[in-house]
Amino acid sequence: MDSSQVNNDDVERRPAAVLIAGPTASGKTSLAIDVARDLNTCIINADSMQIYKELHILSARPSKEEERRAPHKLFGYVSLVEPYSVMRWLSDFEKCFRQVQTEGKPVVVVGGTGLYFKALTEGFSHLPDIPEDVRCRWREAGLQQPSEILHERLAEVDPVVAARLEPGDTQRIVRALEVIEGTGQSLAYWQQKRTPALVPFEQTIGVVLDPPRAALHERIHQRFDAMMDSGAMEEAIAVHERQFDPSLTGMKAIGLRQLISAHLGEESVEGAIEKAKTETRRYAKRQTTFFRGQLTKWQRINPLNEAEVTTFRQQVRQRFL
């Protein structure tokens, strides 16, 4: 076998992407930049709030200085009014990914939206749109009726999915009911129509940043204080003045609603800040729960442990030698 064949085989065995997930404020941006510089490549965003142009500060997007240290893609590139979904992210990601592939480089994918990583590495079950009246009716039923009654109803119209769900799992029961009425097909049918994984996990290096909870909470508090110093209130006011529909996904960004409330005199700035910090801690907990339950094959490191971070970076570099 000649040397050129060996080199080609080496390239084929190299991972296509380095995936960096973790709860908010865990240090993902810093590590992503370091890894991207190690590999001389770009960073692609996998955070559902950092896509929005209007939310630079409140979504904790990389600063201009950080963006100068490595190329960043899919950050701050859509407006709050634009419809956005996992499928849209996968489509936009693929365009960036294919372009970088032509250069013979991997990509670094970083973010806190676990569903993006799951869809990227495992494929995605795309559901058609559910009529709004159907969705609203069943969600109202979920608030008004006992979950056991709803489970019995589901068993009548979709026994396969009903058998999978606990009678007390109201959220998933309601989802199954609205899907079968809205589409005429069982949720199980749509789940079987999963798209192929764009980048199978076996072709990646995946790491979840998992700092100690107390340290993460302190970082969350410090970061929100830094956001306020950087103009978070002004950003919130600017969004409010544009009179966006409050139901838009981007309007649910943590801190936005609280700061707008303070701006309108409905509560104190201090109270708004504390509420935003509390909600951020709760969000971090939900993220951590998802990562532990869903990203089970990924390695985990404490980003505050310099030795663990250094070892991870060395492992990544070795895979690309």
Q: Would you say 159 is a known binding-site residue? A: no
Q: Would you say 22 is a known binding-site residue? A: yes
Q: Would you say 23 is a known binding-site residue? A: yes
Q: How far is CA 42 from CA 32, 36, 70, 103, 220, in A?
A: 9, 6, 6, 11, 26
Q: Would you say 25 is a known binding-site residue? A: yes
Q: Would you say 59 is a known binding-site residue? A: no
Q: Would you say 297 is a known binding-site residue? A: no
- Secondary structure of residue 211 in the 3-state scheme: coil
Number of residues in the chain = 321
Give the CB-side neighbour count of residue 234, counting CA atoms within 13 A. 7
What CA–CA distance (Å, rounded) separates 199 from 195?
A: 12
What CA–CA distance (Å, rounded) separates 81 from 245?
A: 8
How many helices (DSSP H) and strands (DSSP E) are in the chain? Answer: 15, 6
Q: Would you say 170 is a known binding-site residue? A: no
Q: Would you say 27 is a known binding-site residue? A: yes
Strands 72-73 and 107-111: unpaired
Q: How far is CA 245 from CA 78, 242, 250, in A?
A: 16, 9, 10
The residue type of 240 is H
CB-CB contact of 118 with 198 (8 Å): no
Q: Which residues are annotated as a binding site for substrate?
A: 24-29
Q: Which residues are annotated as a binding site?
A: 22-29
Q: Which residues are annotated as a binding site for ATP?
A: 22-29
